[in-house]
Amino acid sequence: MTTEPPRKAQPWIPTLEEVAALAGVSSSTASRVINGSPRVTEQTIARVNAAIAKVGYVPNRAARSLARRRTQTVAMMIPERTAEFFADPYFAEVIQGAAMHASSTEYSLTLLIESENDPEKTHQFLRRGNVDGALILSHHSASSSYRELARTLPVVFGVRPPGDMGDEIHVVDADNVAAGALATKHLAERGRRRIATISGPLDTSAGRERMQGWSEALAASGLEPGLSEQGDYTPAGGADAARRLVEADAPFDALFIASAQMASGALSALKEAGLRVPEDVAIATVDNNVFSTSTTPQLTTVDLHTGAKGAAMMATVVRLIKGEQIGVETLVPMELIERASSAA
């Protein structure tokens, strides 16, 4: 009878996870230290290096080489419902700006729309090294779920996510407070004294900030706070909000509306109520797109240059991928475009 020789015990090989646990940090943080990332503190580097020395960890060079391989691809991530994405020209303009800038670099831009039923699927795709960086473009606070991703992947947000701004959070956006104030100030300078507003959804930073600008401009002009109703960035939502303002039976002679889509719907509702624009109610809005130019009268608007925003987002993420140290927030320019809806 033949007996097999006893098998030798396999040597214990410490893992990255064990190093991270001993150092009291996440595996991704330990990996950043090992790969020489500048986005970790000196204290964290010291703790991870001490843990490496204690357990005798040796990085897997092949894995490190693979981790550093560039895909030359940046993802434009849209955490929005598909129907809203295709109906809103804002997204198309930002994507076009980003794509045009990408064409002047070595990077390609790919579009991802978050799965409504399984958002984690998209998160996993981004975490698994399929792209070199990501652009997060959303109206809503859903984009905040990507904050953690920014700790391991260069990420640029199109709106400021809720919470404190850390060094890993980078935002490219317009100054929405200034946009709301600019439109409202314009209406006041046209002699309007009772300026109401239709805000965007207040779970969006743009909705809150543009309403803040409206309020601040009223105070700066010596005007009393006006009526306000909330919309949803759609023509139907703007129409419904305008009807509620009319039914409130509190006179107003001007409306600042937080998006051109809502303004186009509100214009129809005001006409239904027998109110003339601009004779009875002047309108100023935000976004210079087809919704501001296809109405009668055409709409005075604050142009946020959303194409330039997309280009700036792409330029920023490329700089982050290359390891450059840059500021956490970039503001894109804006300008007021006067049209017939706010004529004196």
pLDDT tens digits, 206-216: 999 999 999 99
Contact (CB, 8 A) for 195 and 164: no
pTM listed for this prediction: 0.76
**Is residue 166 scored above 60 in pLDDT?**
yes
pLDDT tens digits, 25-48: 888 888 888 776 767 788 888 898
* CA gap 155, 32 in Å, rounded: 16
**Domains with residue ranges and CATH for the chain:** 16-64 (1.10.260.40), 73-173+306-332 (3.40.50.2300), 176-303 (3.40.50.2300)
Of 82-86, 122-126, 186-190, where does the model show the most confidence? 186-190
Rg (CA), the chain: 26
Averaged pLDDT for residues 92-106: 94
* β-strand partners of 173: 331
Residue 6 is predicted with a pLDDT of 52
Q: Which residue has the tokens 């303009």?
A: 93
**Is residue 283 scored above 90 in pLDDT?**
yes
Residue 65 is predicted with a pLDDT of 40
Confidence of residue 324 (pLDDT cuts 50, 70, 90): confident
Q: Picking from 64-78, 170-184, 207-221, which range would have the lowest pLDDT averaged per residue?
A: 64-78
**What percent of the chain is modeled with pLDDT above 90?**
56
The larger pLDDT score, comparing residue 337 to residue 163, is at 337
List C-alpha distances in Å: 79 to 76, 82, 207, 234, 331: 10, 9, 17, 17, 22
Confidence of residue 8 (pLDDT cuts 50, 70, 90): very low
Contact (CB, 8 A) for 309 and 100: no
Averaged pLDDT for residues 316-325: 90
Confidence of residue 162 (pLDDT cuts 50, 70, 90): low
Averaged pLDDT for residues 259-268: 97
- The phi and psi torsions of 64 (rounded to 5 degrees) equal -65, -40
**Is residue 248 scored above 70 in pLDDT?**
yes
**Is residue 114 scored above 80 in pLDDT?**
no
Taking all residues of the chain, what is their mean pLDDT, rounded to a whole number?
Answer: 86
Residue 329 is predicted with a pLDDT of 87
Amino acid at site 309: K
Sign of CA dihedral 75, 77, 83, 88: negative
**Is residue 204 scored above 60 in pLDDT?**
yes
**Is residue 167 scored above 70 in pLDDT?**
no
